[in-house]
């Protein structure tokens, strides 16, 4: 068994993401967390298309927190370093460290809590074992995920 590790993809700051001085708007970071989540799920065999074909559960967002550290500018290449920092009985916390790909500096740290609920009635229910198993290689603490990374805050 391999040691847990973050899932990393790259994305550029797009024209639609920036303000008049070409700095990424705070609200554009939600696009990045959605992209990171979708690509992580696809990589572990749980693509959105499959999740919504025969829904027996839903995974609504309960909390989204973003700490901003440095500006991202138009056309900057960003590394979205994604991992599960907590897997509870009925929820999980997804972390996305947005890093400048070239300088490796931390641009923003995003934490999103997702809760597993029934489609009928929105009652909390346990995370499916299939999701637990698929995401297990990406479960690690924030400290472990950032260890050895330059300028990790």
Q: Is the pTM of this model over 0.75?
A: yes
Q: List all residues 6 or more positions away from 11 whose beta carbon is below 8 Å from its beta carbon.
A: 32, 35, 77, 78, 80
pLDDT per residue as tens digits for the range 7-54: 999 999 999 999 999 999 999 999 999 999 999 999 998 876 666 555
Q: In what order do the strands lie in the sheet with 7-12?
A: 7-12, 77-87, 91-100, 106-115, 61-68
Q: Which domains does the chain have, with CATH numbers?
A: 7-146 (3.10.129.10)
pLDDT per residue as tens digits for the range 52-91: 555 677 888 999 999 999 999 999 999 999 999 999 999 9
> Is pLDDT of 3 > 70?
yes
Which residue blocks in 44-78 are alpha helix, DSSP H?
48-53
Written as one string, the DSSP assignment of 63-91 is EEEEEE-S--BTT-EEEEEEEEEEE-SSE
């Amino acid at each position: 068994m391999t040691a847990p590790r973050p899932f990393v993809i790259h994305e550029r700051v797009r024209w639609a993401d920036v303000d008049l001085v070409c700095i990424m708007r705070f609200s554009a970071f939600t696009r990045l967390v959605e992209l990171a989540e979708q690509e992580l799920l696809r990589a572990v065999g749980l693509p959105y298309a499959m999740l919504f074909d025969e829904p027996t559960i839903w995974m609504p967002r309960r909390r989204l927190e973003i700490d901003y550290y440095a500006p991202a500018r138009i056309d900057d290449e960003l590394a979205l370093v994604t991992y599960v920092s907590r897997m509870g009985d009925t929820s999980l916390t997804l972390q996305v460290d947005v890093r400048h790909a070239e300088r490796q500096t931390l641009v923003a740290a995003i934490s999103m809590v997702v809760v597993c609920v029934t489609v009928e009635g929105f009652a909390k229910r346990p995370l499916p074992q299939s999701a637990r198993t698929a995401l297990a290689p990406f479960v690690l603490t924030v400290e472990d995920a950032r260890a050895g990374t330059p300028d990790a805050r």
